[in-house]
Every structure is written in structure tokens, then in C-alpha cells.
């Protein structure tokens, strides 16, 4: 029996829908481990990875952001010795074990532009996740210096999307494509190793329309508390993630935004 063009089209549409459902289901993944094959991350629409651990993401269909710390560096980064040789270190963040960077020194800018970011582009990432801007602001680094650094990165790499982690004070001054609201709903006490919900309702709305993501941390053994955080994040218009604070584990509670439901690992 002959197959009509409508039947053929329907089959292609059905195949597309089935294929799509097997891939991007969840809004966001931030993962700094290295246990899983990159193809596993297809189920997340946006992925933030450590580019030193995942050096080839060309096959990943998700929006991929490479982690990039603007104001701090850990001693396991491949360019740490270069930063040290250029005398770009000033003090230490004892809480995370990382070192502060003198971003006012042009050598840091040149190192980012010419040595740090090119391998990220070559690895297939289509975005940069800009971290530790809050650390720079807390150290009273002039916002003009931070803004200038982000602008020069965008100018050199205009095709890379930029996601800013917090840094709400400068969010409307820089050419970002997305904003991450980290720990604005829940907090973690490093001394007592306990989680809690903030009593105040934090809200910041950028002046222009950009994607707004959120990540909050909670005890993996309390999935129903994690579900409460997802609900709050959705009420604020975020594309949320609630996960383990180490970011070396995959989330055990996931939000399927397409089906409007939460999924819990057993």
C-alpha cells in the first residue's frame, strides 16, 4: 500500500519528538566531576563543565559552558604556575583553598585571552561560565575593572555566550547572555556543615531579557526539602538546579520542565 506524504511527514515528526524526549529534559547541570561520558549530559539543556576534565564536547548537543574563574585560581589549574610566575597572586580564600588574582595586571587579561580561553574554544564549548566575580567585589576591586575584563573577553570571542555567576551589582553593565543565581534560596554553613533556607526573599531582575538560572545546595538525603527549593525557584522564574554542594555528584532530584514534574532517584 502506498504511503502518503502526510504519513511520511508524521513519522518524521514522531521520530523527532521521541529523539528529543531522550535528550534535553532538564534545564541545568553543573558538574565538576569526571566520571561520566559526555553523551550522558544530553538530557540537560544547559551544561556547565570543567574544561580541564572534559576537553572535547563537540558531540554534546546541549548548550555547553566552560567553567572560568575570573578572580581566583586553584593550584591544580594547568596555568597556575604561569600565574604564579607573573606575580598575579594576592592572598588566599581559605574557605575554598583557592588563591586571589590581581585582575588589574594586564598579564592576567592576556593570559585569559591567549592561553586559557583558546583551548576551551578548541574543545567545542559554546559558552563561558564566569565565576568568582562576587569574590572580586568583596575584595573591593573596582567594578569598572571587572566590567572591562568581561567586555574585552566578549570582544575577542563574540561567538561565545557568557553566563555570569551572581555579580548582580554589575550584571546590567556587562554583555552577558545568562545569569546564574547561586545560593539565593538556600545557604550552607561550612563550619557546621548544615543547610538552611534564607528567611528573606531575594529578587533581582536584569534590565534586559536574558536567561536566568539558579543553583542551590541541599543534603541529598532530604529530597523533599530539595523539592521545596525547586518550587521556590520556579516561582521566581528561574531555570533551576538543586544539587550536592561538592558539584562532583549528579543531582538525585531533577526537574523535567517539559513534563512539569520532579523526578527522584530511588
pLDDT digits (tens, 9 = 90+) for 134-169: 999 999 999 999 999 999 999 999 999 999 999 999
Pairing of the two strands 186-189 and 194-197: antiparallel
Q: What is the pLDDT averaged over residues 97-119?
A: 96
pLDDT in the model for residue 16: 37
Mean pLDDT of the chain: 91
Residue in this structure with the C-alpha cell 568583596, named with its chain if needed:
138
pLDDT at residue 174 is higher than 50: yes
Q: Assign residue 194 a region (left: φ > 0; alpha: ψ between -120 and 50; beta: otherwise).
A: beta
How far lies 47's CA from each of 44, 50, 182, in Å?
6, 10, 15
pLDDT in the model for residue 137: 96
pLDDT in the model for residue 37: 95
Q: Which residues pair with 83 in a beta bridge?
A: none
- Nearest CA to 245 out of 234, 229, 260 is that of 229
How far lies 189's CA from each of 37, 93, 138, 166, 202, in Å?
32, 16, 18, 19, 18
pLDDT in the model for residue 24: 67
pLDDT in the model for residue 227: 97
**From the candidate CATH numbers 3.90.1150.10, 3.40.50.2300, 2.60.40.1180, 3.20.20.70, the one assigned to the domain spanning 24-264:** 3.20.20.70
pLDDT at residue 236 is higher than 60: yes
pLDDT digits (tens, 9 = 90+) for 221-232: 999 999 999 999
pLDDT at residue 254 is higher than 80: yes
Q: What is the largest CA-CA distance in the chain?
A: 77
pLDDT at residue 7 is higher than 80: no
CA dist., res. 16 & res. 97, Å (int): 46
- Nearest CA to 198 out of 216, 221, 222, 219 is that of 216
pLDDT digits (tens, 9 = 90+) for 11-28: 433 343 334 444 568 999
Domain range annotation of the chain: 24-264
pTM surpassing 0.85? yes
- What phi, psi does 199 have (nearest 5°)? -80, -20
Q: E strands along 161-264, which residues?
A: 161-165, 178-182, 186-189, 194-197, 211-217, 239-243, 253-256, 261-264
Residue 233 CA, chain-centre distance (Å), reads 16
pLDDT at residue 10 is higher than 80: no
pLDDT digits (tens, 9 = 90+) for 37-71: 999 999 999 999 999 999 999 999 999 999 999 99
In the three-class reduction of DSSP (H, G, I as helix; E, B as strand; rest coil), residue 223 is classed as helix
Give the strand order in the sheet containing 72-73.
72-73, 98-101, 89-93
pLDDT digits (tens, 9 = 90+) for 76-107: 999 999 999 999 999 888 777 899 999 999 99
pLDDT in the model for residue 23: 57
Amino acid at each position: 500500500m502506498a504511503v502518503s506524504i502526510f504519513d511520511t511527514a508524521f513519522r518524521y515528526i514522531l521520530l523527532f519528538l521521541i529523539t528529543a524526549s531522550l535528550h534535553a529534559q532538564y534545564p541545568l547541570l553543573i558538574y565538576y566531576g569526571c566520571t561520566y561520558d559526555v553523551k550522558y549530559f544530553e538530557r540537560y539543556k544547559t551544561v556547565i563543565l570543567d574544561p580541564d576534565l572534559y576537553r572535547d564536547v563537540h558531540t554534546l548537543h546541549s548548550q555547553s559552558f566552560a567553567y572560568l574563574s575570573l578572580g581566583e585560581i586553584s593550584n591544580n589549574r594547568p596555568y597556575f604556575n604561569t600565574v604564579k610566575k607573573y606575580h598575579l597572586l594576592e592572598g588566599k580564600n581559605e574557605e575554598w583553598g583557592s588563591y586571589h588574582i590581581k585582575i588589574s595586571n594586564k598579564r592576567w587579561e592576556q593570559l585569559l585571552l591567549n592561553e586559557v580561553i583558546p583551548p576551551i574554544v578548541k574543545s567545542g564549548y559554546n559558552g563561558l561560565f564566569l565565576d568568582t566575580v562576587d569574590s572580586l567585589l568583596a575584595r573591593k576591586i573596582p567594578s569598572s575593572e571587572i566590567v572591562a575584563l568581561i567586555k574585552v573577553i566578549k570582544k575577542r570571542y563574540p561567538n561565545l555566550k557568557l553566563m555570569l555567576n551572581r555579580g548582580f551589582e554589575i550584571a546590567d553593565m556587562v554583555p552577558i547572555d545568562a545569569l546564574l543565581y547561586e545560593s539565593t534560596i538556600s545557604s550552607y554553613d561550612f563550619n557546621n556543615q548544615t543547610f538552611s533556607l534564607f528567611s528573606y526573599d531575594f529578587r533581582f531582575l536584569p534590565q534586559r531579557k536574558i536567561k536566568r538560572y539558579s543553583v542551590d545546595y541541599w543534603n541529598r538525603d532530604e529530597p523533599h526539602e530539595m523539592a521545596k527549593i525547586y518550587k521556590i525557584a520556579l516561582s521566581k522564574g528561574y531555570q533551576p538546579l538543586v544539587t550536592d554542594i561538592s558539584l562532583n555528584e549528579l543531582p538525585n532530584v531533577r526537574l523535567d520542565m517539559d513534563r512539569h514534574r520532579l523526578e527522584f532517584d530511588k
